Chain A
Amino acid sequence: MPDFISHNISTINFILINIALGLSIYLTLATGLLSLANAGFMAIGAYTAAIIATKTDLPLGIGLALAILLGTLVALPFGLVVLRLRDVYLAIATLGFGEIVRILALNGDKLVRGITGDEELVIFAGAEGITLPYTSPEMILGLPDTTWPILIYDLALVYILATLYRSRYGRIQAAIRLDESAAATLGIDVVRYKLLAFVLGAAIAAGAGALSTPIVRVIDPRNYVFSRAVDILAFAVLGGMTHWVGPIVGATMLTSLPEVLRFLQERRDVVNGLIIMLAIIYLPRGLVDPRFWGGWWRRRPRLRPQKVEGPAEVEARPKAYE
């Protein structure tokens, strides 16, 4: 087992990062919003953490906190304005957001130089990207110290999302996804819950971006283009958008697939695209569909007669049918 982990540590790292990203888009999809802004928020988080790491001596935790804070602060006003849009229109607006973030990161230095007047300033490093110094990872309990933060982050996310899923919030989310107008007539403040899902998703993506910096080490704008947004979407589409286990399964499968299909390494994008298409056409609810799987292991208990309190009532029942 330790051998397996050390041989595949980079795959495991990327699986963990992608799980967090998949969970971030799950929140919006489960509320019926197709937002492609997650790659943009990931970029915000990654750049925040990378700048903290290169310009200051502060630990990664501070970078993570600032990344999440910044992601939230950007997502709030942006969400307020774009969440009035639906379906395709929302997808396009968020796509535009991702591109604007990328262009700003690419030209961030120009802007900062223009404002401060300091011509030598290098913060974003344009197309080359920020490169973090290499430090050989220390092993703690069999895992490198770069892996632990992401693992803990993922576990925390799973705990939060599992709690939310079973809460009133989870039911409201499903109600909005299934029928927005009906949800509104039931007195649900649709806009507020949509905004909540969007901002939470953005914060999670920003955090994942921040935690990915020690692993990718080179943070350049090309990592956060449209295709990254599509990758993230694919995790949720394949895994399923109605249960938080879905994106975890999807992210794990799609990240480890290229390792399994090494002979297709060069054209793994074809396989990615194929999986997205096949999943959405022939498996539109994803691999993890509570309605389908729940039926399997709940079928028998449901058919049994309900346990009723008191022997008198149990005996009274057949009489009522006669």
Chain B
Amino acid sequence: MEQLPQQLINGIWQGAALALFAMGYTLVFGVLDIINLAHGATYMWGAFFAFVCITRLDWPLWAAIPAAMIGAGLLAVVLDRLAFKPLRTLTSGGLVLWVGFIVLLLGLIGAWSPGLKWTLTLSGAAIMLGGIVQDYAAIRPLRVRHVPHLAPMISSIGASIILISLAQGIFGAQVSRFPPDIFPSKPYTLPGNAVIAPIQLLVLGIALALMVVLHLLIARTQMGRAIRGIAWSERTARLLGINVDLVVAQTFFLSGALAGAAGVLLGLAFNRLDPFMGNEVELAGLTVIIVGGMGSIGGAAVAAFLVGMLRVLSVGYIDSSFRDAFVFALLILVLLVRPSGIFGRGSSVRA
């Protein structure tokens, strides 16, 4: 039992980082009613964006974290355009975007000469940009579609595979590490013989700050009102003159930026990055948003601390190899007993 204070502290800072991940997850679900299974891949890419900024571009940490958040946010916006938007409305710009995406992938994965590789990659990116611009400049819906509920989930699984495989190709499958001297590592001793490393304090601080910012954004700003309006009823929001397309893009940006922040912070704290790091947190994140109630941001934050604590305690007191089994047992239990989650509004229809 003398380990308990230490376990609690570990549970808190890991829970805080998990909360960032899960809040972005649940935000997208709340607005669009879709589970974005590529969220874990966005998280992984966020971590690698910061890695590139720090190791290749020699940026300081304070600049790399926001850069990674912006990068991951933009990635999430493009992801929405590729994987989810065509399932809602087929537009001519969307088709152009897809053509560009295929050219880009061809450039990235093909065994071409360096010149051709860059030409293909860059022209693919340019075509994609053209597609997005076209959608904003002159949106031409070809067809509004009604696809099965499963379609977005399956499509995001495909996107996730592509993102992970690309990261594997670019950064290799092995574990990458930040330079060790990036952050002071002398731990502080707290009452109860618990220690906390400065990096863990940083994780906790940034995570809590971002949670407050997100709360203010959702609760106080015009954008937040629009997001909540669409979550309530997209049709009504549209009738009231809300630019749904723009707000959906903003939602995805927020969601991706949060995932990116979580990726950098957890990547820093454990100092290990690999292309599959998203898978693990993906499943923990799913548990969090279900325990918290799908679409409930506050619920996700609270549930993240709960799940973080459960993981840490099961490692500390039972057996580290069964950590995830406990998380999934909790997941299935909550799904069965109260599918709307602990903090979700009771809605038996949804589940």
Contact = CB atoms under 8 A, between A and B. Distances in A.
A140 to B, nearest CB: 38
B165 A273 contact: yes
Interface stretch (A45-53, A81-89, A292-300): A81-89
Interface in A207-247: 225-227, 230, 233-234, 237
Contact of B286 (A95, A100, A237, A269): A95
B339 A85 contact: yes
Interface stretch (A14-22, A275-283, A303-311): A275-283
Chain A binding surface, main DSSP class: helix
A106 interface: yes
Nearest to B323: A103
A234 B157 CA distance: 10
A34 B150 contact: yes
Contacts of B321: 103, 106-107, 110
A284 interface: yes
Contacts of A280: 87, 147, 151, 154-155, 158
Interface stretch (B48-56, B212-220, B330-338): B330-338
B169 A266 contact: yes
Nearest to B162: A273
Given A270-B105, A273-B160, A273-B162, A82 B336 contact: yes
Contacts of B87: 280-281
A274 B102 contact: yes
B351 A233 contact: no
B136 to A, nearest CB: 20
A284 B109 contact: no
A84 B35 CA distance: 19
Nearest to B166: A270
Contacts of B290: 89, 92
A146 interface: no
B151 A264 contact: no
A104 B325 contact: yes
Contacts of B329: 100
A289 interface: no
A91 interface: yes
A103 B161 contact: no
B331 A88 contact: no
B181 interface: no
A269 B165 contact: yes
A284 B336 contact: no
Contact of A272 (B148, B161, B287, B328): B161
Contact of A267 (B109, B157, B160): B109
Contacts of A149: none
B260 interface: no
Given A34-B150, A264-B110, A277-B158, A81 B336 contact: yes
Contact of B86 (A264, A272, A281): A281
B58 interface: no
Contacts of A225: 279
B328 A100 contact: yes
Contact-size category for A: 35 or more
A184 to B, nearest CB: 14
A134 interface: no
B83 interface: yes
Given A267-B109, A269-B164, A273-B160, A93 B332 contact: yes
B149 interface: yes
Contacts of B148: 284
B319 interface: yes
B162 A269 contact: yes
A226 to B, nearest CB: 6
B300 to A, nearest CB: 14
A274 B336 contact: no
Interface string A165-206: 000000000000000000000000000000000000000000
A85 B331 CA distance: 13
Interface of B: 35, 82-83, 86-87, 98, 102, 105, 108-111, 147-151, 153-155, 157-162, 164-166, 168-169, 279, 283, 286-287, 290, 319, 321-322, 324-325, 328-329, 331-332, 335-336, 339, 350-351
26 contacts: A34-B153, A34-B154, A85-B351, A86-B350, A88-B153, A91-B150, A93-B335, A96-B287, A96-B328, A97-B328, A100-B328, A269-B161, A269-B165, A270-B109, A270-B162, A270-B169, A273-B159, A273-B162, A276-B157, A276-B158, A280-B154, A280-B155, A280-B158, A281-B86, A281-B98, A284-B148
Given A103-B321, A270-B108, 9 more contacts: A85-B335, A103-B325, A267-B165, A269-B164, A270-B162, A270-B169, A273-B157, A274-B158, A274-B162
Interface of A: 34, 81-82, 84-89, 91-93, 95-97, 99-100, 103-104, 106-107, 110, 225-227, 230, 233-234, 237, 263-264, 266-267, 269-278, 280-282, 284
